[in-house]
Amino acid sequence: METPNIPLAERLRPQSLDEYVGQQHLVGKNAILRRMIESDKLSSFILWGPPGVGKTTLARIIANRQNRKFYTLSAINAGVKDIREVIEDAKHQRFFSTPSPVLFIDEIHRFSKSQQDSLLGAVENGTVILIGATTENPSFEVITPLLSRCQVYVLKSLEVDDLKTLLERAISADVYLKTLTFKVEETEALFRFSGGDARKLLNILDIVVGSFSGSEITINNKIVTERLQENIAIYDKNGEQHYDIISAFIKSMRGSDPNAAVYWLARMIAGGEDPLFIARRMVILASEDVGLANPNALLMAQACFDALKVIGMPEGRILLSQCAVYLATSPKSNASYMAIENAAAHVAQTGDLPVPLHLRNAPTKLMKDLGYHKGYKYAHDYEDNFVSLDFLPEKIAGTTFYNPGDSAKEREIRARLAQMWKDKYKY
């Protein structure tokens, strides 16, 4: 039999819940989504989870199971006009006994506010049942009025047992693969490179099978690794490279190289990366890696993120470039990041230490009688708005969590803290 032109992942796309692998917390026996599906009742919802865990497949299965017309739009290339056309068509398809059609929107987090607004009326009156799919937290990316009309269900990366099931099904059930002879010696590399992504697992299997000239296929860690390295462009088109390039981008800014930063930025833009994902990562870096060495960095990154929502692409690439260059050329400090890491580690070791009495709130007479708030000194009543006082639990008094870095700004902070606290903290 000739090698099929249709990718393995598409050939094996499940057609029913019984064929669906993973997400048992949602579609397993008596799980919330399964009950909704089998009751023939359906309300709008959003599926939030990483790539390749079955969001699109689940939406199709639901529509087929309930005999609902299925519309699909991708937020990458659909606009308000496309949404209105679908809604109008859905209105014309409705009859008294006909269930509302399903409108599936992939990557709904990429829709602008106006695009999301255009969905509200149709979702509200039941013209369509909206099923959105997103890899980003919908609390940040979906407008509140639309989010309030949808349940959010979280999908998880596939477990090793799920990947084993998929592999076994592919080998035994696929119309082409079942004609071959498989010798599965090891699966660790196969599952590790797939990263809990069903589509990626099947794409890797496609690559490995395609590398053999005969009908006998051997799968082990060495072969999988070698075949992927030989076919890295195919494998990485929408997968591993996403993480590698964002990593290179972050490390270039952290390493104060604006030239490398804008190069990796350009690579991500050319590859269709979500610009808000890039901007969000720069907000994190501004605090984690620049910090108080240049406090304006966080303001710049946040302004970039907010402006990008208004401007959009392609002009948004200019905002991203300006911010990336600014962050790359800023002095660096991870002192604030290390401070919370140090404090968190201390909390894990010492547990819930009591709040000192003088720092406790005392809204009632009983609390005051018990000594709550007694001995507290209001800093603004003292010279330079400072008074030496114990603010940590007694057991860890004098512990230093924040150690200022060596940038000019943090040297000023270090000197001021040392002058105020004397020997209480080590600066």
* Average pLDDT, integer, range 6-12: 84
Q: Are residues 284 and 353 in the same domain?
A: no
Q: Please state whether the peptide bond connecting residue 314 to the residue before it is cis, i.e. omega within 30 degrees of 0.
A: yes
205 by Cβ neighbours in 10 Å (0-12 / 13-18 / 19+) ranks as buried
Out of 235, 261, 292, pick the residue that ends a domain.
235
Whichever domain contains 263, its CATH number is 1.20.272.10
Q: Are residues 261 and 168 in the same domain?
A: no
Q: Are residues 125 and 29 in the same domain?
A: yes
14 lies in a domain? no
* Lowest-confidence segment of 14-23, 64-73, 122-131, 355-364 by average pLDDT: 355-364
The per-residue pLDDT for range 253-278, each reduced to its tens digit, is: 998 988 989 989 998 888 777 888 89
pLDDT for 242 equals: 63
Q: Domain of residue 263: give its range.
A: 240-329
DSSP 8-state class, residue 155: -
The residue length of the chain stands at 427
Q: Two tokens at 266?
A: 């350009």
Q: Are residues 29 and 128 in the same domain?
A: yes
| Phi/psi at 71 (5° precision) | -105, 145
More confident position, 91 or 131: 131
The per-residue pLDDT for range 223-264, each reduced to its tens digit, is: 888 887 765 544 444 444 666 788 889 999 998 988 989 989
* H runs (alpha helix) in 211-286: 221-230, 232-236, 240-254, 258-270, 275-285
27 lies in a domain? yes
CB 66 within 8 A of CB 37: yes
Q: Are residues 129 and 49 in the same domain?
A: yes
The per-residue pLDDT for range 12-52, each reduced to its tens digit, is: 888 888 888 888 888 888 888 888 888 878 888 999 888 88
Whichever domain contains 149, its CATH number is 3.40.50.300
Give me the chain's average pLDDT, please.
85
| 96 pLDDT more than 70 | no
* Average pLDDT, integer, range 379-384: 84
More confident position, 378 or 296: 296
Whichever domain contains 371, its CATH number is 1.10.3710
Residue by residue, what is the 3-state secondary structure of 285-353? HHHHHHHHHCCHHHHHHHHHHHHHHHHCCCCHHHHHHHHHHHHHHCCCCCHHHHHHHHHHHHHHHHCCC
Out of 216, 235, 254, pick the residue that ends a domain.
235
pLDDT for 290 equals: 94
pLDDT for 230 equals: 63
The per-residue pLDDT for range 384-413, each reduced to its tens digit, is: 888 888 888 888 888 888 888 888 888 888
**pTM confidence score:** 0.55
pLDDT for 251 equals: 92
Q: Looking at the 3D structure of the chain, how many domains does it have?
A: 4
Q: Are residues 84 and 183 in the same domain?
A: no
9 lies in a domain? no
CB 184 within 8 A of CB 219: yes
The per-residue pLDDT for range 154-188, each reduced to its tens digit, is: 988 888 899 999 999 999 888 888 888 999 998 88
d(CA 265, CA 271): 10
Cα angle 212, 242, 191 (rounded to 5 degrees) comes to 45
Q: Are residues 182 and 226 in the same domain?
A: yes
Whichever domain contains 164, its CATH number is 1.10.8.60
pLDDT for 122 equals: 85
Out of 329, 359, 379, pick the residue that ends a domain.
329
Listed ranges 25-39, 101-115, 257-271, 326-340; the one with the highest mean pLDDT: 326-340
